[in-house]
Amino acid sequence: MAILAVNAGSSSLKFSLHPLQGGQVQPHVLSGNIQGLEPGGAPAMGWTYLGKRHQEALAVPAGTAPFVAALDSLRALVQKLEAAPDIEAVAHRVVHGGGVFTESVLVTEEVLERLACFNSLAPLHQPHNLEGIRRFQAAFPQLPQIACFDTAFHATMPEVDYAFALPKALQEEGVRRYGFHGLSYQYIMGMLLEHTLRGRGRVVMAHLGNGASLCAALAGSSVATTMGFSALDGLMMGTRSGSLDAGVLLYLMEQGWTHAQMEKLLYKQSGLLGVSGISADMRTLRASDSPDAERAILQFTHRVIRESGALMACLGGLDVLAFSGGIGENDAVLREQVCNRLAWTGLRIDEERNRNADGKAAYAIHAPDSRVEIWVIPTDEGRVAAREAAQLLQTLKAGGQATPSLAPASVA
Q: How many CB atoms are closer than 10 A to CB 112?
A: 17
Torsions phi, psi of 91, nearest 5? -100, 120
pLDDT at 400 over 70: no
pLDDT tens for residues 211-256?
Answer: 999 999 999 999 999 999 999 999 999 999 999 999 999 999 999 9
Round to whole Å and give the CA distance between 319 and 321.
7
Q: How many CB atoms are closer than 10 A to CB 153?
A: 26
Lowest mean pLDDT among 6-20, 183-197, 366-380, 398-412: 398-412
Q: What pLDDT, on a 0 to 100 scale, did the predictor assign at position 408? A: 46
350 is in an annotated binding site: no
Task: Tell me the whole-structure pTM to 2 decimals.
Answer: 0.93
pLDDT at 95 over 90: yes
Instruction: Supply the residues annotated as catalytic.
Output: 150
pLDDT tier for residue 296 given thresholds of 50, 70 and 90: very high
Round to whole Å and give the CA distance between 106 and 42.
32
pLDDT tier for residue 122 given thresholds of 50, 70 and 90: confident
Q: What pLDDT, on a 0 to 100 scale, did the predictor assign at position 308? A: 98
Query: How buried is 49 (Cβ within 10 angstroms: 0-12 exposed, 13-18 middle, 19+ buried)?
Result: middle
Q: Quick check: 295 and 276 in contact, CB under 8 A?
A: yes
168 is in an annotated binding site: no
Contacts of 79 (CB under 8 A, 6+ apart): none
- For the segment 338-360, the average pLDDT, to the nearest whole number, is 96
The average confidence (pLDDT) of the chain is: 93
Higher pLDDT, residue 21 or 184? 184
pLDDT tens for residues 261-272?
Answer: 999 999 999 999
Helix axis angle for 66-80 and 126-139, nearest 10°, is 60
82 is in an annotated binding site: no
Q: What pLDDT, on a 0 to 100 scale, did the predictor assign at position 38? A: 86
pLDDT at 102 over 60: yes
208 is in an annotated binding site: yes
Query: pLDDT > 70: what percent of the chain?
Result: 97
pLDDT at 407 over 60: no
335 is in an annotated binding site: no
Q: Where are the domains of the chain?
A: 2-155+382-398, 192-379
Q: What pLDDT, on a 0 to 100 scale, did the predictor assign at position 63? A: 82
Lowest mean pLDDT among 58-67, 152-161, 168-177, 317-326: 58-67
pLDDT tens for residues 358-380?
Answer: 988 999 999 999 999 999 999 99
Round to whole Å and give the CA distance between 346 and 198.
15
Q: What pLDDT, on a 0 to 100 scale, did the predictor assign at position 410? A: 53
pLDDT tier for residue 314 given thresholds of 50, 70 and 90: very high
pLDDT tens for residues 7-52?
Answer: 998 889 999 999 998 889 999 999 999 999 888 788 999 999 988 8
- For the segment 125-139, the average pLDDT, to the nearest whole number, is 92
283 is in an annotated binding site: yes
Q: What pLDDT, on a 0 to 100 scale, did the predictor assign at position 403? A: 61
Round to whole Å and give the CA distance between 228 and 140.
34
Q: Quick check: 58 and 34 in contact, CB under 8 A?
A: yes
